[in-house]
Structure formats: C-alpha cells, structure tokens
Structure 1
Amino acid sequence: MSSLMVSASDPITYIIPAALITTIGLAYTTGSTSGGQKPSNHARKQLKNKKKGLSHKEEPSGRLSLGELDVRRKCQIAIGGPTDHSGEVIVSAVPGFDLNSTIFGSVTGVLPRTVQKSKVAIELFWSDSAVRRVEKLFSPVPSPPSYKSQILDFMNDECDFAIEHADGSFMDHLKFCHDYSVHNYSTVSPLPMLLHSIMGVGTNFFPMKVDQIGRLKEMVSPQEFTHIEAFPSFLRLVLGTDFLEVIKSRKNELHKLKGLNCNRVIDNTPLSLNGEDFWTQMNYQLLHMLDFLPAASWLSQLDDGFMWAFIQLHEILSDSGRLACKVDFDLSSGESTPDGMPLTVGSILRGVIPDFIIKKLAQKAIGKFSKAIKHDLAYELIWE
C-alpha cells in the first residue's frame, strides 16, 4: 500500500483593480436580457417577491415543505442528465436581491459576493412549449417513495433547516437530489441525498449540532451514515482543493485506488472511506452538482465552479468505468448564445476575469470557511 498526502495550501490571491469594477459598474443594467424574448403566460405566473432573498413557502403548520420540482429538475430526472435550455428559457436578474438572506450571506469580499449574487439572484421563465415538452417527458416517471416520517420529524423538530433554505429552494434542492437518486441511481440508498447537507454546508451553516450525531446514526443504516457524514467533506475537497486534478493526473492508475482519508467538516474528526465507498460518494457528488449547472448558455459559463467540477467529475467517472448513476452529458450540445441571459455586474465580471482566477478565488473562499471552523482540508489518497 502507498499513499499520497496533500495539504490544503492557501491559493493565490488575485486583486482586481478597483477601476475595472467601477468601469463595469457603469455598464450595469439590473435584470436586462438579450434577444428580445418575452416571458410566456406560464412564466408570468412564476413571478415572486424576491427582493429580500428568494422567499420560501412555509407550510401552514410551520413545518418544512416537502419540496417541489421545477421544469429544469423534472427534465433532468426524466432524461437522466442535464440540458442546455438555450432558446426556451429566460434567465432574469432579480432587482434588489439581498444575498444576506440566503445561505451565501457569510460570503465576504466585494468580488466574490458580486459573482455569487450573479448566480443566485435569478429567476427562470420558461416558454409554454418547453413546459409542455418537459411535462410530457416527466408524466411517466413514477412517484418516489415517501420520506421516512422519523427523518422528517428529526429535520423539523430537532434540526435547524430554516437558515439553510432561506433562499427559498433548499427543500426543493433536497427533494431533487433524493428523487434523482431514486430514478437514476437505484443501486444505492437515496437517503444520503436527502440528508447530504445536514452535517454542514459549504458556507458554514450546520442544521444539526455535533451532539445530535448519535441520534442521526440511530435513524439510518451504517452505510447511509458513512455517506451522509462524508458528503460535506468531499464537496469541499472537490471545490476547494486540487483533489480532482490529482485524481485526473493518475487516471491510468485509478483501478489501484483503495480509499481516502480526510476530515469531517462538522468537527474535524478523521474519516476513512474504502475504495467502493469512495466511488459511490463520487457518484453522489456528480448528481448533486446537476442542480447547480446553468440552465442555459453552458459554453459561456465554463468558469462556473460547479460547471467546471461537474465536467471533471463526469470525465473521471466515465473514463474509469465508475459512472454508476445515470448522468448523460454532452458538453458539445451546449450553447454560448447570450440570448435570454441577464446582464449584471457579476455576469460582466465573469466575462472579463480569466477563468483560472475565478477558480482560485472560489478555492480560497472555501479554504477560509474551513479555517474559520478549524476544519483541515488535507486529504490522503490510498493506493495499492
């Protein structure tokens, strides 16, 4: 057995001249779109008051909503993969959006916050033909099994998911991840995808406390718990370190990969995954990232951290023969058209700042979040 130790280094900090930001700011038009498209009748019904974050729907009882699937999510579940919806969706910026009302409120720095806002302060407006097409695709998809009532009671009564879904979409996100796993990754339990963030999200929100870990373990199987506790750590390694580059550099030796050692996000406890659990977790990470891909104009957004990581993960899993979940993806089907895309400060910055700088800034941000909670991003790949 041999191992490779990698320490989390502080990525290079790049300073964007204030004059550049100021100049770009002069060209900023809130919520403008290109192409002269108009929202359809269906799209007009989607309008919500999002000026203070993305307002969420609360159940009359005050309990968590079970989540809903929108057009994009239904399409992904039905066909088993993402689609570049250019030409059938308008991505509109939300004026007056308050990033502090979301789970990204703890992001600091003018540039990172501006770029982050350009990704989440948006509303999707679908053409009627797209809605009809997706509903037809989704109609034969059977309903997934109901969530365990014990799990929902735990999430409602003993955990704090209110902060986590302050952007109005978190329960929708959890439902999508769970349901996609049910229909497109049926060889494993979908439960880790419902609870993948319960032990921490990337911006240091923790729906449950460390002293509740024992309670969670009582409600899930040992295998399910392995992936629930490992998920936040894997996500930070994928987005915040050179983890994927290191794996790709040894693509001809991946059959010799026997496991991974890293640290649990919530309390920095050492974690160890064997080879099979490693690849299962990589598949969970891939399908999770489906929900963060741009809805349209993929080729103009290759600097997006999730888009970049998704492409790398899909390539690693495909080339190694370890793609176990159904995720059909063809980047060549993507578009670069600006039609239907918003023009904002963030989108302009992303268009002029080199991709590698944006990537390094994202990695640095994740490093800062881990440092703030004394979480060690070092990891060890175990080889034969």
Structure 2
Amino acid sequence: MAPTQEEGGTDDLQYGVLDLRRKAMIAEGKPIDHAGSIIVQRADGFDLDKTIFKSVDKKLPRMMAQERLSVEVYWSDRSTTQISESFNKVPAAPRFDAPILEFMQTECNFCMEHADGSFMDHLRFCFEYSMVHFKGHSPRVMFLHSILGVGTNYFPMEKEKIPKLRELLNEVEMKHIEAFPSILRLLYHGQLMDELLADAETLPKTLQSISFHRVIDNEELVLTADEFWVALNYQLMHQLDFLPVANWAEAVDDQFFVFFLGLYEVLTRAGKLEAEVNFDLKMATPPSDLARPSMTLGRFINKIVPGTVKKNIARQTVARFSELINHSLDYKLTLSSP
C-alpha cells in the first residue's frame, strides 16, 4: 500500500502537493468513493490546534472535527498506478503567478494546516480542478478563495491589504474572491440553501441580484444573478475537497456531503451547472471495512447523533463564528416577476 502523499521537494512547500485523492478528482472530473482501494487508519499525533479548525471550541463539534480529520489514507498499488497514469494525461497546470505567490508569502499567512494536508495543498487542488473543469472562468479565484477569511475565523491577510490584493487581479476575479467566504457561510448557515432548493427552477428566471456582507469587515457586496450562479459553481468545486474519501453509503448525514448534495441539486435543477462535476450517487460503491478507521468516542458519538442535530450544530456554529467578528449573515435576493 502507498501512503497518501507522494510528492516532495522544495517546490512543494510553495506550490502544495496533490495527493492521490485529489489527483483522481482532477483526472476524472468528479468525486470518487474509493472504498475497496484504500485502508484508512488513525493518524498518530494529529493536533486539531494546528489546523484551521483550532477555533472550534464547543465540545461536540470539536470532537466530531477531530474524528473526521485524524486519519491517514493508504492506497493499493493498483489504484496508485491507475490514478497516476490518468492524472499524467491531464495537461500540466501552469505555475502560480509570481506576483500573487510573492504577495501570499510576504503579506499573508497560509502556514495553517487544512482539512487534509497543508493550506497550499488545498489551494493547489482548487486551482487545478477549476483550470481543467471550469473553462472560461479564472482559476485564480479558486487559488485565492480563502485569502479574505475561512469559516472558522482564520484570516490569512489583514483587511488593510485589500488594495494591494486588488492591484494583482482583474475586476471579475476580485469580485468573486471577496464574495467567496460570505457565500460559503450563507450556504452553510442554511437559510440561503433552503431558499435555493425551494425555488431552484424559478430563480433562473426571476433572480436579479444578491446582496450580502463581506466576512472580513462586514462591508456590503452585491453580485448580479449571472455572477451568483458562477459563484455557486466555484463553491461546488471547492466542496469536492471536503467529501469523504470512501464509504459514502455511510456518510449520508456528513454535513460536508449534505452541503455538496444540496448545492449540486440546486445547480442541476436550475440548469446552471457549468463546472464539470460528474456525480451520480446511484452508482454506489459497497462500503469497505478497511476504509473505516478504528472506533473512537468521537466516531461513536458521530454515529448516534441524528442528522438533524448535526445540521443544527453546523448552522449554529456558522452563526456563532460570524457573531464573534460582527459579521452579518443577512442577505437579500432581488427578484423580478416570473
């Protein structure tokens, strides 16, 4: 069996590493349930306080985050070969723009670990997936989507540096980058997702714009309807990196999975799915015992807590993080008559 990480060298410290899970998604243009191809074990020495989730301080959400993240994935030799060969057929991504990378290294702090690997690993995946599977839209949005804040109130740069960031981007890129953290919170908070699911077929005809508040300073932002649908496609691709690596049949109430399914449904029903995300839950992969990490108190609690309770916890957590930084979760959908 091969371990998750397989690259190395000084360049990877700058550009991040793509593990096999991420390479497979880029190569195939879809999330994949890898049950039967991997072994999942507990990660020795995992420290939640070294990740972007360190600020999760409520006992139950913290225990559930620890349970989900403290794992290591080992791959079969066959899968390692197949994924590597498929990924090598994908046109190589360009290196990140030097001025942007320099700004990130000298003006920002991306040293925190992410949900799976380093922050730069996550940003590289988002950039490369978008470049290959969202033609006609800038992949730099996905590379910089977190620069103005993540959902757990970690801010890689100060708001005073926004003018410098703006100089490095075009107007469309900047608009999506500053909107990304806000749209993410609004969707996870639930009210916006519920509204989109309820009216997915009619909104393409009636939606004019959406107004909301920027996470880093609560400034009001506005996206047109067309910009909003593009923003939701960026959100969907971003969510790919948080899906369970295997045993999807047992993850129906995993809140990252629930979020992805809801957003995918909105975009497909609205006819606004532009990004290539070939997803079909009907083609389920049988669960694998080897893809289940050892039982812990966190895993046991995660199994017995009802999905509705998990959803409420997730929504309350978003509200609490925004309240701590005086960020308003108010938004307004401006509609025309159908």
Please give the range of the TM-score, normalised by the shorter of the 2 chains.
over 0.9
Shift in Å, 1:166: 9.6
Q: Secondary structure at the match of 2:124?
A: helix
Choose the corresponding residue for 2:237, options 287, 312, 318. Answer: 287
Matched, 1:365 2:317: yes
Report the alpha carbon displacement of residue 119 of structure 1 after superposing the two structures with TM.
1.4
1:325 and 2:275 matched: yes
Identity across aligned pairs (percent)? 42
1:224-303 pair list within 5 angstroms: 224-255=173-204, 256-303=206-253
Q: Quote the residue 2:68 is aligned against.
A: 119
Q: Is the 8 A contact 1:257 1:383 kept in 2?
A: yes
Q: 1:337 aligns with which of 277, 287, 290?
A: 287
Distance 1:241 1:315 in 2: 15
Shift of 1:58: 8.9
Q: Tell me the distance in 1 between the aligned counterparts of 2:135 and 2:145.
A: 17
Q: 1:187 is paired with a residue of what secondary structure?
A: coil
Question: Is residue 381 of structure 1 aligned with residue 333 of structure 2?
Answer: yes
Secondary structure (helix, strand or coil) at the match of 1:90 reads strand
Which string of whole-angstrom CA distances, capped at 9 and with x for unpartnered residues, describes residues 194-216 of structure 1? 00000001110111101100000
Counterpart-to-counterpart distance in 1, 2:276 and 2:153 = 30
Number of residue pairs the alignment of both structures matches? 333
Q: Could you list the per-position Cα deviations for residues 144-182 of structure 1 after superposition, in whole angstroms to 9, with x for gaps in the alignment?
A: 122110000000011111236597421111000000001
User: Which of the numbers 142, 148, 164 marks the counterpart of 1:193?
Assistant: 142
1:315 deviates by 1.0
Greater helix percent: which structure?
2
Tell me if 1:136 matches 2:91: no
The reply to whether residue 215 of structure 1 matches residue 164 of structure 2 is yes
Asked whether the 8 Å contact 2:5–2:17 carries over to 1, the reply is: no
Return the alpha-carbon distance in structure 1 between the equivalents of residues 81 and 241 of structure 2.
Answer: 21
TM-score under structure 1 length normalisation: 0.83
Change (3 A) 1:58 1:303: farther
Q: Quick one: which amino acid aligns to residue 59 of structure 2?
A: V
Residue matched to 2:307: 355
Q: Is the 8 A contact 1:300 1:335 kept in 2?
A: no
Q: Which runs of 5+ in 1 are unaligned?
A: 1-39, 48-56
Cα deviation code 1:215-267 (max 9, x no counterpart): 00000000000000000001101112321111111123112111211100000
Match of 2:41 in 1: 92
What displacement does 1:337 show? 2.2
Contact 2:64 2:298 (C-alpha < 8 Å) held by counterparts: yes
Instruction: State which drifts further: 338-347 or 113-122.
Output: 338-347
Q: Is the 8 A contact 1:103 1:165 kept in 2?
A: yes
Greater shift after overlay, 185-194 or 90-99? 90-99
Larger CA Rg, structure 1 vs 2: 1
Judging changes above 3 Å, is the alpha-carbon distance between structure 1 residues 167 and 183 closer, same or farther for their aligned structure 2 residues?
Answer: closer
What TM-score, normalized by structure 2, do the two folds share? 0.94
Partner in structure 2 of residue 78 of structure 1: 27
Pick which of 162-171 and 113-122 moved more. 162-171
* Structure-2 separation of matches of 1:336 and 1:216: 46
